[in-house]
Amino acid sequence: CGHGSSPTVYRDLLILICYHESQSYLLSLDTRTGAVRWKVDAADGVTSYSTPLVVEVDGRPEIIVNSSVGVSGHDLTTGARLWHIEEANRFPIPMPLFQNGLIYASRGYRSSPFMAVRPGGRGNVAGSHVAWRSPSGAPYVSSLVYYDNLIYMVGDVGVLTVVDAATGARVHQERIGGVYSASPVAGDGKIYLLSEDGETIVVAAGRTPRILARNRIAARQLASPAIAGGRLFIRSDDALYAIG
């Protein structure tokens, strides 16, 4: 498999996860010049298709990495690993998110584990900084979305799952159909779910969500949508759609 991670910009740094079977390293570049600020090698065979996330802990930034050997936090200025949770996974794809002082991470691949982790630890933090963990149920490819104290997810089996962000307890689950590679987005009291066959399902957010609309375009939807300026932007294989 090739490179699947997107870059992340934080202040004057461009952060890239370059974890491939042939060579694995975490890389930081100067956004203005492209000069290498630092490069930190990982162990042979470590892979990742996830995008890095930068969070601040007491004013100190950490880079969060979802990889084939676990979830880890790295120093922004050096790339050195600060903490880790060891958990093998063949295809770590979803990007973590950060809300209310917790990192929410799904591991990817089949019925993925997902968890809430407090940042700021040192060494192996599996026994000290994991607020809660669910052993299965998260999507293979798409990331989680947080909205109003709930976590929403939908994956390759067409099941929408909602869990309490504070406890990880499942509060709702229903089969809505479709296969989902795009990550859900949220806004204005709604969750937007884009299936690969071109259908966008609009769901009213809440502990008992309800489907408000099903809209279809004649295009395959693999990329995650973006919300900006009151519009939903959807990229298909050969077109960009702006929906107001």
Nearest to 168 by CA among 69, 122, 102: 102
Query: What are residue 105's DSSP bridge partners?
Result: 115
Residue 2: per-residue pLDDT: 62
Sign of the dihedral defined by the CA atoms of residues 68, 49, 59, 229, in that order: negative
Residue 85: per-residue pLDDT: 98
CA separation for the pair 186, 193 (Å, rounded): 9
81-86 and 123-124 beta bridge pairing:
parallel
Residue 193: per-residue pLDDT: 98
> CB–CB of 67/19 below 8 Å?
yes
> CB–CB of 151/142 below 8 Å?
no
Segments of the chain scoring below 50 in pLDDT = none
Residue 1: per-residue pLDDT: 53
Residue 226: per-residue pLDDT: 95
Residue 4: per-residue pLDDT: 80
> How many Å is the Cα radius of gyration of the chain?
18
> CB–CB of 204/212 below 8 Å?
yes
Query: What are residue 73's DSSP bridge partners?
Result: 64, 83
112-117 and 102-106 beta bridge pairing:
antiparallel
Residue 155: per-residue pLDDT: 84
Q: Whose structure tokens read 């162990």?
A: 43
Residue 61: per-residue pLDDT: 97
Per-residue b or e along 102-117, where b marks 16 or more CB atoms closer than 10 Å to that residue's CB: bbbbbbbbeebbbbbb
- What six digits make up the tokens of 146? 């947080």
Per this entry, what is the length of the chain?
Answer: 244
In this structure, which amino acid lies at residue 169?
Answer: A
Residue 134: per-residue pLDDT: 97
